Structures are given as structure tokens and as C-alpha cells.
Chains A and B, each alone.
Chain A
Amino acid sequence: MWEYTDKVQDHFINPRNVGEIEDADGVGNVGSIACGDALRLTIKVDENQVITDAKFKTFGCASAIASSSMLTEMLKGMKLEDAKRLTNDDIARALGGLPKEKMHCSVMGREALEAAIADYTGAILPMAQGEVVCECFGVTDLEIIRAIRENALTSVEDITNFTKAGGGCGKCEGKLRALLTETMAGEAGQPTGVAKKKRMTTLEKIKKIEEVVEREIKPTLKKDGGDIRLIDVDGDFVTVSLRGSCANCHSSRTTLKEYVERKLREQVLESLIVEEDK
């Protein structure tokens, strides 16, 4: 029997804002029936960039339903900028806490919110772009690293509680341990929430950029018929040329900034600026 707070029970028995906004400005779908929980969040945003309405539909346990319900209550009337900063911990705290094995329910709420905002702004979601580490639940390395950082996780069990990664067949346990060690080492001496900054030589920097472009960015763009080539690296300025369908795509600027730059900043250096070679 789970120890649920009165708030969780209340939001489970009397969920608020159930349903779907018909002419939603942003839709976020996360999870799947195979995984055991799924959430569809719809939001309405006005001209002042304020979320005026939020509705949800959730398949899942009591804490998944309560997290979704609480999230919609928190969102209504919230500025989009503030919503972007909402964390899973904010949701869990608003519910008076969740059992640690159920923290992934609050993470699902946050991910749905990010997906809905990205849908609204037309941005590409960074988290889904990582490499899948847990195949049972489709959890990427970026999602795991972020959960470790934001919630100061210290064990593989924690990772499973927060992201579900490792909760199926368990084959990824070694990879999770490696990610944990790496991330915790990177966090030591760093203020939380800030990407690690390492001193690196120009050569190391170029190599690292090349590697991230080849390994992650290129395959992702290729899925949509696009392509990318690294042209030059000068200090913090990275010049690339977008090709294929990306070259003529009107949202290529968004792709460049929201995805390529963000990816390189996350994985190489926080100060990088990506520009297109015209």
C-alpha cells in the first residue's frame, strides 16, 4: 500500500481540468500504454504569453493522475516563461510529496509540459534527442542526466524511481551506473543546474564538436531528410551549413538555435554560438 498524501488522494479522486482543449495552442503527449502511464496535456496561451487554460488526460496510477491534475492547476494563469522553469520537484512538492518510487509520475508531468511548450513555440525537444539508454521504457541519456542533476540523485535505484530507466529487464544497469558516476563527478564543485564548463584546448573543442555533430545531430536531421556540415570553429563561433530539406526549411533558424546550438552547448561548451554559413 502506498503512502499517499491527502493532496494526492484528493487530486486522484477529484481530478481537476480533465479533458482536452479543442483549439489548443500546445499539445504534449508523453508515455505509452506499454510503459504503464501516459499523459496528454493541452494548453492555451494568450497574446501576453500567459497560459490561460490547461487540461489533461492520463492513463496511470493514482500518483500519475494526481500529478497531472496538480500540474494543470499550477499552470493556469502562469507566464510561459515561468512554466518553462517548472520542475518535477515543484509538482511533487505541490502535492505534499510523492513516494520515492512514484517520483517518475512528477517527471512525466514536467515532460508533458515541456512537450506542450515546445509544440507551441515550434522548438525541438532536446531531451528526446539523446541516445536511448533504457530500451524497456525508452529513456534517453539526456533525460537521465538531467534527472540526476536536478534531483541530486545518488543511486541507480534513484534513477529508476525518477525516470523508470532500469525498471524493466535491467540490462542497462551498467550504463546507468556509468552515467551516474560521470554526472556526479561533473557536478562536484559546480553550482547545480549549470552545464559543466571544462577547460579544453581548441583541438579538443573541435574534435568534440565534430563528434557530437556526427554522432547525434546529423542522424537526427537525416531522419527528417536534412543534413548538416561543420564548416569552421573560431573561438566560440561554430559555423555549419544546413543541407537537404533543412536548407530550404523556414524553421531552419529554430533548428539551428534550439537544437544544434543547444546540443553543442550541453555536450561541449556552454558558451558556443552556432551560425549558419550562407
Chain B
Amino acid sequence: MAVLPEQVIYMDNNATTRIAPEVLDAMMPYLTQFYGNPSSMHTFGGQVGQAISQARQQIADLLGADPGEIVFTSCGTESDSTAILSAIQSFPEKNHVITTRVEHPAVKNLCDNLEIFTGRKYHVTRLPVAADGTLDMQRYRESLTDDTAIVSVMWANNETGVLFPVEEMAQIARERGVLFHTDAVQAVGKVPINLRETAIDFLSLSGHKLHAPKGIGVLYVRKGTPYIPFMNGGHQEHGRRGGTENVASIIGLGRACALAAEKMEEENTRVRALRDKLEQGLLSTVPKALRNGHPTQRLPNTANISFEYVEGEAILLHMNQLNICASSGSACTSGSLEPSHVLRAMGVPFTAAHGSIRFSLSIYNTEEEVDFVLARMPDIITKLRALSPFWEDK
């Protein structure tokens, strides 16, 4: 039953990515010989601390930040929670938070439940999006008040790849004296980021989205930003996040960030061309196929396509028969009964929302793979439409 990695066509990189071989090589010594604790006084442990410093520098370089602004966490979700809860605790007199309707659950569910976590009532503005998934900036400007504790807006949407103008938004927030956090989990490594040139106060990233392992995340905290730790304990991360460092993963993430800087151009040329070929091929060969999301204001690797009048889980399982891995915004894949909140916020009609498939590529995808998917997808859709009671009427 097991499916071997060499058998699959993996187009689900917004869910997670493979660990780059270079990353694993960098990690191995720290999983084997160099097991010392970086906090120890002896050289054997201390040298691990030096390796961590180097990784911190590599990550800071990719983000255009200072190493002192990098805080290691366990994942993107922890980074998001830390930033948002820190901001609202730092400004107890403020009771307003701004976010969007299309955030990842890590931010969305936190903002939905702030009262439970803080014991205080918060007014949450969830900015709507247009049909192409973009934000109304005027609406954003108007929603900022003196009461706003923090703005949290994702850099790139995980389902559609649509990019939000977070740099501009952070600048607007700063002018109003409001902290700005961005969940950049999908953006880091795919779009150029230079935090020194921005007014972004907090940024979350996650290792496993850029070819580092799962279980390692980073919160960028701009120097001078009020900060209250989420995990208390030892003096690690200068008291900003207690807990012994996940050493090997930190080293791996450092290497992955250096690699991402090298591959950024390929991501935006070759990978983008593959994505465009896949997307245009599907839209032209499959009738009633629609793209979800803005055509250009988007990550280079993501294509979200709706196949009308068929259901996403059924499509995915047929793709699975061919060992093609992707995701769907359909209700049935999540165990919930409603389709993706992102597509609903965009006003994608139900005929299309249930049949959405997200293809997310990486530098490891090839043109042969794209050609194979293009050759097989039309048959899958035709087969399912032959079953659909809604199709014949079209």
C-alpha cells in the first residue's frame, strides 16, 4: 500500500515540502555527533551555539533582518500566536484587532477566540476580499482606530497564492501607531523580502514550507517592539522563547534559507513557467474550469483551479490513483461540511468552490510531471462529470 517518494508527482508544496538534500546534510552532524546543549559552558556544547548563530544569520539574511530579531519557535502557528498575543497584552487598553477573512486557521481561529485566550472582549475587524482575492485598501485604512492593538495580515494566501500588499499596509499601520504582524509562511523563499525597508513589526515563517523539516518556525520581532513571551522558561532566545533549542532543525532551517536565496530566481522563472503551463493547459483543455485568485498578484508556484459541477475529494482520489498529490478546498476533504472559507470570502459560487483543486509546485517539479498531469486531468474531470446530475444541463 505504501507509496514510494519516487512514484509520486508532488504538487502539494503549500502543504509541506521535501527536505532539501543539502539541508539534511547540514543537519546530520547535529543529530549524531554534535549533541551538546548550546547553553552548556563546555566547548562541546558551546560549539553548537556557534552553529545556531550562523543559522540565525542565514535566516536574517533572507529576511533582510538582524540576527537579534530572529526568535526560534516550534512552528508557524506558535509564531502567529506569540505575535498576536504579545501585542494585545502589551496594549491592554486597546481592544481592537484587524485581520482578513482569508487567513490561515493559525491566525483565524486565534482571532475568533481571543476572548477565551485573554478573558477579555475584543472587537475583530475581518477585512473582506474581492472576487480575485485582493484586499480593499481604502477599507483597511478606514478600519484602523486608536483602539487597534495589532493588524495581522498574511503575506501570501496558502490556498490561492494571492499576495497582499503587506509592506504598504504595515507603513499605514505605523503611521497610526499600530503594530503590524504578517504570517509569511507561504511567502518566505518565494518573494523577495527586505524587512529593514518595511514597517513590519512581526513576521512568522515555518521551516517545512521551504524545504527544512517540520517542527521549526521563526518569529521575526523588530528591534524595539514591545514583546511578551508566549513560552516562558529558560533564558534561551534571550528570554523571548523558553525551551531547549531544536538544534538540528535550526541548522537545517538556516541552510534552507540560504538555499532559498539562491533558488529565488528559479522559483520566479522556471517554477512560475511550469505553474503557468499547468494552469493555462488546464483552463484550455477542460471546459468550465476557472482560476481562483488574481492572475499576477500571486505566488509563482500556486494554481487554484475550480472544475465546475464536480466535487474536489472525488477529483483528488482519482489523482491519487495516479500518485498525483494536490489539495482541495472542498468541504469533504477537510471533514468540515462547508467549502474553504477563503473561496467563500471571494464569493466563488458553490458550483465551483466544491470542485477546487490547489496545485502548488516547487523547484523539484519537472516539465514532464506537468505534462503528465495535463494529459490525465481532462479524463478525470470528464469521468466525474458523467456522474454529475448537474453537468448534463450545461
Would A36 and B337 be within 8 Å (CB), given that A60-B311, A61-B311 are in contact?
Answer: yes
Q: Which of A160-168, A171-179, A180-188, A218-226 contacts B (4 or more CB under 8 A)?
A: A160-168
- Does B330 contact A36, Cβ atoms closer than 8 Å? yes
Within A127-155, the residues touching B (CB, 8 Å) are 136-137
- Does A33 contact B390, Cβ atoms closer than 8 Å? yes
Instruction: Please measure, in the bound complex, the distance between the C-alpha atom of A61 and the C-alpha atom of B321, giving whole angstroms.
Output: 15
Instruction: Please measure, in the bound complex, the distance between the C-alpha atom of A112 and the C-alpha atom of B350, giving whole angstroms.
Output: 21
Residues from chain A with Cβ under 8 Å of B309 in the complex: 33, 59
Most chain A CB within 10 A, of B333, B336, B387, B390, is at B387
B388 close to A (CB within 8 Å):
yes
Residues from chain B with Cβ under 8 Å of A34 in the complex: 350
B335 close to A (CB within 8 Å):
yes
Residues from chain B with Cβ under 8 Å of A60 in the complex: 311, 314, 332
- Does B350 contact A33, Cβ atoms closer than 8 Å? yes
Instruction: Please measure, in the bound complex, the distance between the C-alpha atom of A15 and the C-alpha atom of B317, giving whole angstroms.
Output: 14
Residues from chain A with Cβ under 8 Å of B312 in the complex: 61
Instruction: Please measure, in the bound complex, the distance between the C-alpha atom of A67 and the C-alpha atom of B367, giving whole angstroms.
Output: 38
Q: Tell me the smallest distance from the CB of A21 to a CB of chain B, in Å.
A: 13
Would A58 and B387 be within 8 Å (CB), given that A36-B311, A136-B338 are in contact?
Answer: yes
* B contacts with A, residue count (CB < 8 A): 26
B103 close to A (CB within 8 Å):
no
Q: Tell me the smallest distance from the CB of A4 to a CB of chain B, in Å.
A: 8
B331 closest partner in A (C-beta)? A36
Proximity bits, B329-361, A CB within 8 Å = 1, else 0:
011110111110000000000110010000000
- Does B317 contact A40, Cβ atoms closer than 8 Å? no
Residues from chain B with Cβ under 8 Å of A13 in the complex: 318, 321
Would A61 and B387 be within 8 Å (CB), given that A12-B314, A33-B354, A36-B339 are in contact?
Answer: no
- Does B330 contact A39, Cβ atoms closer than 8 Å? no
A38 close to B (CB within 8 Å):
yes
Residues from chain B with Cβ under 8 Å of A57 in the complex: 387-389
Residues from chain A with Cβ under 8 Å of B375 in the complex: none
Dominant secondary structure of chain A at its interface with chain B: mixed
- Does A61 contact B314, Cβ atoms closer than 8 Å? yes
Residues from chain A with Cβ under 8 Å of B317 in the complex: 9, 12, 62
Q: Tell me the smallest distance from the CB of B116 to a CB of chain A, in Å.
A: 16
A90 close to B (CB within 8 Å):
no
Residues from chain A with Cβ under 8 Å of B337 in the complex: 36, 136-137, 160, 164, 167-168
Q: Tell me the smallest distance from the CB of B386 to a CB of chain A, in Å.
A: 7
- Does B351 contact A33, Cβ atoms closer than 8 Å? yes
Instruction: Please measure, in the bound complex, the distance between the C-alpha atom of A137 and the C-alpha atom of B337, giving whole angstroms.
Output: 9
Contact of A15 among B311, B336, B350, B387 (CB under 8 A): B387
A101 close to B (CB within 8 Å):
yes
A18 close to B (CB within 8 Å):
yes
B332 closest partner in A (C-beta)? A61
Most chain A CB within 10 A, of B309, B311, B386, is at B311
A37 close to B (CB within 8 Å):
yes
Instruction: Please measure, in the bound complex, the distance between the C-alpha atom of A29 and the C-alpha atom of B350, giving whole angstroms.
Output: 18
- Does A59 contact B310, Cβ atoms closer than 8 Å? yes
Residues from chain B with Cβ under 8 Å of A102 in the complex: 332
A45 close to B (CB within 8 Å):
no
A116 close to B (CB within 8 Å):
no
Instruction: Please measure, in the bound complex, the distance between the C-alpha atom of A102 and the C-alpha atom of B335, giving whole angstroms.
Output: 8
Instruction: Please measure, in the bound complex, the distance between the C-alpha atom of A15 and the C-alpha atom of B390, giving whole angstroms.
Output: 17
- Does A40 contact B389, Cβ atoms closer than 8 Å? yes
Contact of A168 among B310, B333, B338, B388 (CB under 8 A): B338
A65 close to B (CB within 8 Å):
yes
- Does B389 contact A38, Cβ atoms closer than 8 Å? yes
Residues from chain A with Cβ under 8 Å of B335 in the complex: 101
Q: Tell me the smallest distance from the CB of B257 to a CB of chain A, in Å.
A: 31
Instruction: Please measure, in the bound complex, the distance between the C-alpha atom of A9 and the C-alpha atom of B321, giving whole angstroms.
Output: 10
- The 25 listed contacts between A and B (C-beta, < 8 Å) are A9-B317, A12-B317, A13-B321, A29-B389, A33-B351, A33-B354, A33-B390, A34-B350, A37-B311, A39-B389, A40-B389, A58-B388, A61-B312, A61-B313, A61-B314, A61-B330, A61-B333, A62-B313, A62-B317, A65-B387, A136-B338, A137-B337, A160-B337, A167-B338, A168-B338
Q: Which A residues are within 8 Å of any B CB, using their own CB? A: 2, 9, 12-13, 15, 18, 29, 33-34, 36-40, 57-62, 64-65, 101-102, 136-137, 160, 164, 167-168
Q: Which B residues are within 8 Å of any A CB, using their own CB? A: 309-314, 317-318, 321, 330-333, 335-339, 350-351, 354, 386-390
Additional 6 contacts, C-beta under 8 A, given A33-B351, A36-B339, A38-B389: A33-B350, A36-B338, A38-B390, A59-B310, A61-B314, A167-B338
- Top 5 nearest A-B pairs (CB, nearest first) are A167-B337, A61-B332, A61-B313, A57-B389, A40-B389
